[in-house]
């Protein structure tokens, strides 16, 4: 599972017109026609950092991380978002990721009395052929990346993200 490194939050750029982003807006491939192929996104903050993975308010990935994901999964869609800081006169090319939810939870997954997962187990057969996705059937909006993508990320000098392992199981 990949998520933004929360230790960087106070040092990150801010998005114009957005006071705070505490949640991730999920955008799926069926919404692709509603989005422009290229969007200029105004950001602010002097001497602020821009990591390779941003997950709030939407999931944005750097050009290098996009290339890694594309190497391993043809089902992902991207829309270009040019992060523009007028004060610092900088522009960075980032990519809005459009990814669908995959019905891949194993029956080995466990839940609390309110139906929230306490142990997520992905069925390896259901997830086969998918390198980047979200899990259907749970409220969690974090992205799942498979081991191939994870290893490719770790071989490059990409930063600003946290990688967390998730259990893979096989239905009996």
Residue 160's pLDDT is: 96
Q: Is residue 22's pLDDT more than 80? A: no
Q: Is residue 20's pLDDT more than 70? A: no
**How far is residue 51's CA from residue 162's CA, in Å, rounded to a whole number?**
11
Among 155, 150, 172, 152, CA closest to 163: 150
Q: Is residue 168's pLDDT more than 70? A: yes
Q: What is the model's pTM?
A: 0.91
Question: In the structure, what pLDDT confidence band is assigned to residue 172 with cuts at 50, 70 and 90?
Answer: low
pLDDT, tens digit, 9 for 90 and up, residues 65-99: 999 999 999 889 999 999 999 999 999 999 999 99
**How far is residue 47's CA from residue 65's CA, in Å, rounded to a whole number?**
22
Residue 24's pLDDT is: 85
CB-count burial class (<10 Å; 0-12, 13-18, 19+) for 7: exposed
pLDDT, tens digit, 9 for 90 and up, residues 91-149: 999 999 999 999 999 999 999 999 899 999 999 999 999 999 999 999 889 999 999 99
């Amino acid at each position: 599972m990949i998520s933004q490194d929360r230790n960087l939050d106070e040092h990150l750029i801010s998005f114009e017109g957005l006071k705070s982003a505490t949640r991730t807006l999920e955008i799926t491939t069926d919404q692709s026609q509603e989005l422009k192929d290229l969007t200029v996104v105004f950001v602010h903050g002097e001497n602020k950092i821009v990591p390779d993975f941003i997950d709030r308010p939407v999931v944005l990935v750097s050009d290098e991380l996009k290339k890694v994901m594309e190497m391993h999964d043809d089902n992902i869609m991207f829309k270009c978002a040019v992060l523009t800081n007028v004060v610092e006169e900088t522009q960075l090319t980032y990519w809005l990721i459009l990814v669908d939810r995959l019905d891949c939870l194993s029956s080995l997954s466990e839940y609390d009395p309110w139906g929230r997962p306490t142990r997520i187990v992905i069925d390896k057969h259901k997830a086969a052929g998918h390198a980047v996705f979200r899990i259907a059937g749970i409220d969690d909006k974090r992205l799942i990346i498979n081991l191939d993508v994870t290893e490719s990320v770790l071989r490059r000098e990409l930063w600003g993200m946290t990688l967390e392992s998730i259990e893979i199981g096989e239905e009996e």
